[in-house]
Each structure stands twice: as C-alpha cells, then as structure tokens.
Amino acid sequence: LLQIDFEDVIAEPEGTHSFDGIWKASFTTFTVTKYWFYRLLSAIFGIPMALIWGIYFAILSFLHIWAVVPCIRSYLIEIQCISRVYSICIHTFCDPLFEAIGKMFSSIQATVRKEI
C-alpha cells in the first residue's frame, strides 16, 4: 500500500520552522487536496481502469490456461520420449568407447622427480 503523509513531502529540517498557523494551514490544504483529488480521479477513471484491467487479466488467464500450460506439457511429453532414445544411444555407443579409452590410459603411471 502506498501511504504518503504530509511530513514525507514537506519536511522542515530541525532549526527551520515556519509559523504554526502556516504549518497547520499547509497541512490541512495538502491533506484535503490529496483526499478529494484522489476521490475525483477514482470517480472518473476507476470504472474504466477496472474494465481494462479485468479484460487484461481475463485474456492473460485464458492464454495461460488454454495455450501456455498445454504447450509446456506437450513439450515435456515429447522431450521425455527423445531423452529416452538419447539415453539409450549414449549408453549403447559412448559408454563402451569411453570405458575402453579409460582402460587404455589406466596403466599409465607418472613419477615426479625433483633434482637439486
């Protein structure tokens, strides 16, 4: 929620104060103007803006329910099938190859000598 008080907008620093009557009149003018102008804007634009936002969120909900979620679920179903085929290919062709390469290089030994 947005809460704007008079002190947030018109803040006199310590040591600088206007007359009490001026301060009270300014406070009253600010508060009453803000209150009634907000009501006036709400009366003029409230219903049209509510209509616009209602239509926007209805369209957004419709697209999410009938387009976005089905597309994502369809993609996940299709990718699951592809991932199984990919996994089978990797295990069939790559696993034996890398296992053989690993066994070839497993007998290599390295020694480090430090000469002074």
Question: 86-101 pLDDT, tens per residue?
Answer: 999 999 999 999 999 9
Residue 1 pLDDT = 67
Instruction: Give the separation between CA 114 and CA 116, rounded to whole angstroms.
Output: 7
Structure-token match 């099938």, residue found? 81
pLDDT attached to residue 11: 67
Give residue-wise pLDDT tens across range 68-77.
999 999 999 9
Residue 70, pLDDT score: 95
In this predicted structure, the answer to whether residue 16 has a pLDDT above a threshold of 90 is no
pLDDT of 38-86, one tens digit each?
999 999 999 999 999 999 999 999 999 999 999 999 999 989 989 999 9
Contact 14, 8 (CB under 8 A): no
Nearest CA among 74, 56, 55 for reference residue 66: 74
SS3 call for 103: helix
pTM of the predicted structure, to 2 decimals: 0.52
Cα distances (angstroms) measured from residue 116 to each of 97, 113: 43, 10
Widest CA span of the chain, in angstroms?
96
How many residues make up the chain in this entry? 116
Instruction: Please give the full DSSP string across 58-99, using - where no structure is assigned.
Output: HHHHHHIIIIIHHHHHHHHHHHHHHHHHHHHHIIIIIHHHHH
